[in-house]
Chains A and B, each alone.
Chain A
């Protein structure tokens, strides 16, 4: 079945540091890939997505590239801010899963001033 594995947290960085959160997936079809973000006390919201191999999703300075050869979708940001402190979830959806979205375990990010 489909699955998503992402790096365990928490990740603690200083402001303006470079961020990478690793995500790999297993899927029988050709999934769409997503990163969702959850700020404290809120529901998840879509951060970015990519729908086919080599696509790059980007939003708010975050980027992730769909790598089919390594089945990966790592999240990166060049310079994090305190306001980026949140939990980040990698996810996938494809037709073999009936278009249901499968989530990774989440990675908590703390950014210190």
Chain B
């Protein structure tokens, strides 16, 4: 089984719909992240959480919200989806003991298409 699991793998939705992407991990890491990947732009950070009670905005948080339900679960929501949110979304985790050497562990991604 994968250490970082994202569901669904693919999703097609319509403009204005609310959608949730889910991430769960079995690595026991405190830190969890949501990134989106767009061609030519690399990965950009949406939100991150360093523990269950900690939620922080990344560089592109507008239009998104998150929930850290437990150490192992971190969900990303699009309250009212729009076409420019079409992208590949990645959840990642890291061990807070590593400091600046932190290695990120990624899920397999969720391809979201907003029509």
On A, residues with C-beta under 8 Å from B are 4, 31-32, 34, 36, 41-46, 49, 51, 89, 93-95, 98-106
Contact = CB atoms under 8 A, between A and B. Distances in A.
B41 A105 contact: yes
Contacts, number: 60
Chain B contact patch, size range: 20 to 34
A43 B43 contact: no
A51 to B, nearest CB: 5
Nearest to A30: B100
A90 B40 CA distance: 13
B102 interface: yes
B79 to A, nearest CB: 24
Contacts of A101: 33, 45, 102, 104
Contacts of A106: 42-43
Contacts of A98: 56
A44 to B, nearest CB: 5
Given A100-B58, A105-B42, A106-B42, A45 B100 contact: no
